[in-house]
């Protein structure tokens, strides 16, 4: 007993000291959860009948990048008779963003590679937004140096391609891989947007990792790097990604300027500019729960209004169509990776071990994708608080498993998982984070599985259904800004054509 009380006497204060140091209170919650509404649509739950009817030539369903760019195109060519319906309170879809007292920050998409010469649509929009003038890109939007870094072997290296610890054999494979990519680039089949160049190819019938094995690429860091690229852009491991799309990631880009284009709030900057231009067409919080073709018209039902349209641009994810549009078969071939993003507010910058924070910070061998620093694009030479956006595509699971996991675990579980991951590179992370909001997206990005891109199913969805034109980026097989923009604008062109014929 005496022994116990003495230990208690000496031990307790020490333990309390330890506890208060490591377990700093971190506030936060899940935010922007969209699955309750999604599940109501999926389950065809009862919605109120519309209160009024409105005749409008074109209805755009979905206010993400595809819908916003469809609207941008219509408005630009002087077509003003349309509405843009968004079910969430904030338009922007995967380009939504947030803001707190420290910084603006993205919720998902956070950059656009500098559009090459052939990418006329993207150049047109960015020119209009003042980012591209007299052949020069705005220097405050081109990602500041240092762009990327990788935590490997206990320290940070510049760039994400693993250099530290790479053997001459690894380096030889890096070079040979880039040679291969250059050959692919020279074919002209790997373009942005993909539709311009894509030709049916046996590459799409195998996975990226199978193609690497077939070509004799067995370097561990090279395979890590390519797997990282697939997880980052498609939410899938390289073994679950079409080799054609894997090659596309590397071979489609030929930037004339060191980029990418980025903003503290990520692509939320683009979304905000488009929303500003298109405010008078935009109706947020309007859930389209039924779309019915009747005669030459299409009826679009929300709880507020029944829109009687001549044409509909379906810019929402394609898989939702079968739940909402009458008589549409399920889009079973379309797969989506779920994502988890977290915004961490840091009121202290973690120690950097003589390295400078980069914009994109990746940890080698982490299951997650790393974090982007929101204050990187600030002109300040010194910041003492910042926001990090942490990305996790849960690619090692099947999409279904990952979605179940996302819903099953509470905020605290994910908060701990994120902190543990970051602690590999930042042991003091728990003393720096004050707040963490986490966003779960069940169907975040299209997952280009082998065989999908040149499948009959995708070809079917590329065609309109009567007067309904499909526009989501998932029709390209992967969700990036340029594909959304291209699909949105193409659908808008077709819709205008259909309406003018009517």
Partner 1 sequence: MSIALFLSVFLIAACGLIYELIAGTLASYLLGDTVFQFSTIIGCYLFAMGIGSYLSRFLHRGLVARFVSIELMVGVVGGFSSSILFLAFAYTEAFRFILYAVVILVGTLVGLEIPLLMRILKERFQFRELVSHVLTFDYLGALGASLLFPILLVPKLGLVRSALVFGIFNVVVALWSTYLFREQIGRSHILRAGSVVVLALLGTGMVFADRISSAADNSLYADEVIFSRNTPYQRIVLTKWKDDLRLFLNSHLQFSSRDEYRYHEALVHPGLATLPGAHRVLVLGGGDGLAVREILKYPSVESVTLVDLDPEMTHLFSTHLVMSALNQHSLTNPRVHVINADALRWLDANTEQYDFIVADFPDPTSYALGKLFTTTFYRLAAKHLASGGLIVVQSTSPLFARQSYWCIVESVKQAGLRVYPYHVYVPSFGEWGYVIGSFAPYEPPRQLPSGLRFLSTTNVAELFIFPVDMQPVPAEPNRLNDQVLVRYYEQEWKDVAH
Return the number of the residue (284 or 378) whose C-beta is nearest partner 1: 378
Report yes or no: 234 and 245 within 8 Å, Cβ to Cβ: yes
Return the number of the residue (199 or 382) whose C-beta is nearest partner 1: 382
Smallest separation, CB 441 to partner 1 (Å): 30
Return the number of the residue (385 or 435) whose C-beta is nearest partner 1: 385
Report yes or no: 127 and 320 within 8 Å, Cβ to Cβ: no
Smallest separation, CB 52 to partner 1 (Å): 48
Return the number of the residue (59 or 143) whose C-beta is nearest partner 1: 143
Q: What SS3 state is found at 169?
A: helix
Report yes or no: 322 and 333 within 8 Å, Cβ to Cβ: no
CA within 13 Å, CB half, 184:
24
Smallest separation, CB 140 to partner 1 (Å): 7
Smallest separation, CB 271 to partner 1 (Å): 23
Return the number of the residue (210 or 257) whose C-beta is nearest partner 1: 257
What six digits make up the tokens of 243?
A: 């080799």
The Cα–Cα gap between 233 and 439 comes to 18
The Cα–Cα gap between 155 and 496 comes to 55
What six digits make up the tokens of 110?
A: 């956070």
Smallest separation, CB 428 to partner 1 (Å): 11
Return the number of the residue (379 or 408) whose C-beta is nearest partner 1: 379
Smallest separation, CB 378 to partner 1 (Å): 7
Among 479, 434, 427, 177, CA closest to 319 = 479
Smallest separation, CB 381 to partner 1 (Å): 5
Smallest separation, CB 66 to partner 1 (Å): 28
First to last CA, the chain: 93
Smallest separation, CB 124 to partner 1 (Å): 22
The residue with tokens 């697939």 is: 230
Q: What SS3 state is found at 40?
A: helix
Return the number of the residue (429 or 438) whose C-beta is nearest partner 1: 429
Report the interhelical angle of 65-76 vs 481-501 (nearest 10°): 50
Among 50, 41, 6, 27, CA closest to 301 = 50
Return the number of the residue (142 or 484) whose C-beta is nearest partner 1: 142
**Cα 203 to Cα 215, 238, 242, distances in angstroms:** 12, 13, 7
Exposed e or buried b per residue across 34-56, where buried means at least 16 C-beta atoms within 10 angstroms of its C-beta = ebeebeebeeeeeeeebeeeeee
**Where along the sequence are the contacts to partner 1 (CB under 8 A)?**
139-140, 142-147, 257-259, 356, 378-382, 384
The Cα–Cα gap between 160 and 487 comes to 31
Length of the chain: 502
Return the number of the residue (179 or 356) whose C-beta is nearest partner 1: 356
The Cα–Cα gap between 112 and 125 comes to 12
The Cα–Cα gap between 484 and 66 comes to 4
Smallest separation, CB 429 to partner 1 (Å): 17
Tally of CB atoms within 10 A around 18: 10
Calculate the CA dihedral of residues 263, 350, 235, 153 and round it to 10 degrees: 130
Return the number of the residue (259 or 450) whose C-beta is nearest partner 1: 259
Return the number of the residue (55 or 140) whose C-beta is nearest partner 1: 140
The Cα–Cα gap between 229 and 478 comes to 13
Smallest separation, CB 313 to partner 1 (Å): 36
Q: What SS3 state is found at 184?
A: helix
Return the number of the residue (335 or 375) whose C-beta is nearest partner 1: 375
Smallest separation, CB 358 to partner 1 (Å): 9
């Amino acid at each position: 007993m005496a022994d116990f009380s003495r230990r208690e006497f000496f031990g307790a204060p020490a333990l309390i000291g330890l506890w208060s140091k490591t377990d700093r209170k971190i506030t936060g919650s899940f935010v922007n959860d969209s699955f309750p509404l999604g599940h109501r649509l999926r389950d065809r739950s009862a919605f109120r009948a519309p209160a009024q009817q409105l005749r409008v030539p074109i209805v755009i369903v979905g206010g993400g990048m595809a819908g916003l760019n469809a609207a941008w195109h219509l408005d630009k060519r002087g077509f003003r008779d349309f509405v843009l319906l968004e079910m969430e309170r904030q338009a922007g879809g995967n380009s939504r963003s947030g803001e707190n007292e420290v910084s603006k920050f993205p919720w998902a998409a956070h950059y656009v590679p500098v559009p090459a010469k052939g990418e006329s649509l993207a150049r047109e929009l960015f020119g209009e937004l003042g980012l591209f003038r007299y052949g020069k890109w705005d220097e405050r939007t081109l990602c500041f140096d240092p762009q990327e870094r990788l935590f490997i072997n206990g320290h940070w290296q510049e760039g994400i391609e693993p250099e530290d610890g790479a053997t001459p054999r690894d380096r030889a494979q890096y070079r040979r891989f880039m040679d291969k990519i250059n050959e692919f680039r020279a074919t002209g089949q790997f373009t942005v947007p993909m539709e311009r160049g894509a030709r049916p190819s046996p590459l799409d019938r195998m996975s990226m990792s199978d193609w690497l094995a077939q070509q004799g690429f067995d370097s561990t860091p090279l395979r890590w790097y390519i797997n990282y690229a697939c997880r980052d852009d498609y939410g899938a491991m390289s073994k679950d990604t079409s080799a054609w799309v894997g090659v596309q990631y590397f071979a489609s880009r030929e930037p004339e300027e060191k980029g990418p284009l980025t903003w503290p709030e990520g692509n939320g900057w683009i979304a905000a500019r488009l929303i500003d231009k298109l405010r008078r067409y935009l109706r947020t919080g309007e859930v389209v729960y039924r779309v019915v073709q009747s005669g030459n018209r299409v009826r679009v039902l929300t709880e507020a209004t029944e829109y009687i349209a001549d044409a509909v641009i379906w810019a929402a994810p394609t898989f939702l169509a079968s739940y909402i549009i009458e008589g549409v078969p399920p889009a079973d071939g379309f797969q989506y990776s779920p994502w988890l993003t977290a915004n961490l507010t840091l009121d202290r910058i973690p120690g950097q071990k003589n390295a400078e924070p980069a914009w994109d910070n990746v940890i080698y061998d982490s299951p997650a994708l790393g974090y982007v620093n929101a204050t990187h694009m600030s002109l300040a030479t010194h910041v003492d608080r910042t926001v990090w956006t942490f990305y996790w595509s849960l690619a090692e699971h099947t999409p279904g498993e990952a979605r179940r996991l996302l819903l099953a675990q509470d905020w605290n579980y994910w908060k701990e998982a994120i902190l543990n991951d970051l602690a590999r590179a930042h042991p003091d992370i728990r003393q720096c984070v004050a707040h963490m909001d986490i966003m779960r997206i069940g169907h975040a990005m299209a997952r280009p599985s082998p065989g999908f891109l040149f499948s009959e199913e995708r070809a079917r969805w590329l065609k309109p259904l009567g007067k309904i034109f499909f526009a989501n980026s998932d029709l390209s097989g992967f969700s990036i800004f340029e594909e959304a923009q291209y699909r949105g604008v193409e659908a808008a062109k077709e819709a205008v054509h259909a309406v003018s014929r009517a």
